Amino acid sequence: MNSPDNKKSILVLKDISLSFKGVKAITDISFNVYEGEICSVIGPNGAGKSSMLNVINGVYIPQEGTITFDGKEFTKMKPHSAAVMGIGRTFQNIALFSGMSVLDNIMSGRNLMMKANFWEHALNIGRAEKEELEHRQAVEEIIEFLGLQSIRKTPVASLAYGLQKRVELGRALAAKPKMLLLDEPMAGMTMEEKLDMSCFIQEINRNYGTTIVLIEHDMGVVMDISDHVVVLDYGKKIGDGAPDEVMNNQDVIDAYLGVSH
């Protein structure tokens, strides 16, 4: 659409409608996410942004519409196949494994790459030890990248909110996803933490070519880091394009930006 034609779509959402017991959360939304871009989804609370991410990785099944990821079309995406295909995810309300350490949380992000079976695990033979050490190496790189070295053995439940968000990003990143869905990764953070987080997101995008779909309320951040912005309001799409284009779109100004919240 508004993006250059030479860009390849990694994700195509077509005519998605989702309702909960008759209450519409998403109405007939279509948009594309292009490979390697940072795409921000914005809109007021209750607009259907989180629901949209849940549809993309199969947590919610839309009543209508199709999801095409990496050339494969689905009417019913499953969370497991989304993970297998390389869709990573963080949640608006942190969904860490609260009884586990930072290290174990991030290690669990690599579970799909671990092939040893439970017999090998129980006896610590065969692939078990070797895999564990290989993946530990990769996870340590993530820990270093996110600056979590000093808390790697700390139980996540005892960490500050901002750090927990960072650990959750690390867990998603550990799976080496092709596309990362980040649901308000900077909400409730201090300015400094926000800055760190947006640096991490940009670095992930740049260094690994990971496509990012991001929900964010801070327009400064959105304008700064997005290649592409999709605007939702009351479950409908009202804007879609490059950040400056979207900002000048009259519908968007009326429905969202113009209205003070």
Partner 1 sequence: MFYREAGKLVGSFGKDRRMLPLLEDRWLAVLFVAFMYFVVTALASDYMFTAILIPIMVLGVATLGLNIAVGYTGQLSLGTAGFMCFGAFSAFNLILRIDWMTIPLAFFLSGMIAGGVGIIFGLPSLRIKGFYLIVSTLAAQFFAEWVFNAYPWFLNYTSSGVVSLPMHHYRVFPGQENTPFNAAFWHSSQGRYLVTLTVTILLVLACKNLVRSNTGRNWMAVRDMDIAAKVIGIPVAKTKLMAFFISTFYCGVAGAMYCYCYIGNLDFMIFNLRRSFLVMFMVIVGGLGSILGSFLGAIFVYAWPIVITRGSDFIFGGGAIDTAFIENNSKIVVGTIIIVLLIREPGGFAALWASSKQKLRVWPFAQ
Degrees to nearest 5, angle at CA 253 with 247 and 255: 130
Question: Choosing among ligand ADP, Mg ion, partner 1, none, which partner's interface includes residue 46 (Cβ < 5 to 8 Å by kind)?
Answer: ligand ADP
Among the listed residues 46, 61, 72, 79, the single contact to partner 1 using CB under 8 A: 79
Question: Least distance from C-beta 224 to ligand ADP, angstroms?
Answer: 21
Among the listed residues 36, 48, 109, 185, the single contact to partner 1 using CB under 8 A: 109
Specify whether the CB–CB gap between 172 and 185 falls below 8 A.
Answer: no
Kindly list the distances between the CA atom of residue 22 and the CA atoms of 19, 27, 147, in Å, as whole numbers in the listed order. Answer: 6, 12, 45
When the beta carbons of 92 and 154 are compared against Mg ion, the nearer one is 92
187: contact with Mg ion by CB under 5 A: no
158: contact with partner 1 by CB under 8 A: no
For residues 30-60, b (16+ Cβ closer than 10 Å) or e, as one string? ebbbbebbbbbbbbeeebbbbbbbbbbbbbb
Q: Which one of the spans 45-53, 96-104, 107-115, 220-228 is the region binding ligand ADP (CB under 6 A)? A: 45-53
When the beta carbons of 94 and 257 are compared against partner 1, the nearer one is 94
Specify whether the CB–CB gap between 165 and 189 falls below 8 A.
Answer: yes
Q: Which one of the spans 47-55, 95-103, 105-113, 118-126 is the region binding Mg ion (CB under 5 A)? A: 47-55
3-state secondary structure of 186: coil
89: contact with ligand ADP by CB under 6 A: no
- Interhelix angle 127-145/161-174, rounded to 10 degrees, is 130
Among the listed residues 5, 22, 23, 137, the single contact to partner 1 using CB under 8 A: 137
Whose structure tokens read 């290989």? Answer: 134
- Interhelix angle 161-174/191-208, rounded to 10 degrees, is 10
Element (H, E) at 168: helix 161-174
Specify whether the CB–CB gap between 214 and 227 falls below 8 A.
Answer: no
The strand pair at 23-34 and 9-20 is best described as antiparallel
43: contact with ligand ADP by CB under 6 A: yes
210: contact with partner 1 by CB under 8 A: no
Question: Least distance from C-beta 121 to partner 1, angstroms?
Answer: 4
114: contact with partner 1 by CB under 8 A: yes
Give the residues lining the site for Mg ion (CB under 5 A).
Answer: 50, 92
Would you tell me which residues interact with partner 1 (CB under 8 A)?
Answer: 57, 59, 79-80, 82-84, 88-89, 91, 95-100, 104, 107-109, 111-112, 114, 116, 118, 121-124, 128-129, 131-133, 136-137, 140, 171-172, 175
